Amino acid sequence: MPLGLLAPGQGGLIKDIIGGRHVRCRLTELGFIPGAKVRVWQNQPWGPLIVSLGDGRVAIGRGVAQKILVEETR
């Protein structure tokens, strides 16, 4: 499922990134790599998603969030 479908408080494991080389490279630089754990802090109908990744938080646009495929964890 795309990362953008997770509600605040939900987490998941990154499974894949859909997109071209530039998108994949940029997301990898930010820490979005397959196997990484993410947790959604903010996901509202407008504006960016705020997710925790590693030791920090990252804001990403909704379009980019749709390119990050995750497996929901409990």
Domain 3-73 has CATH 2.30.40.10: no
pLDDT of residue 54: 86
Q: What is the largest CA-CA distance in the chain?
A: 31
pLDDT of residue 74: 75
Cβ partners under 8 Å of residue 66, min gap 6: 2, 3, 4
Domain boundaries, the chain: 3-73
Segments of the chain scoring below 70 in pLDDT: none
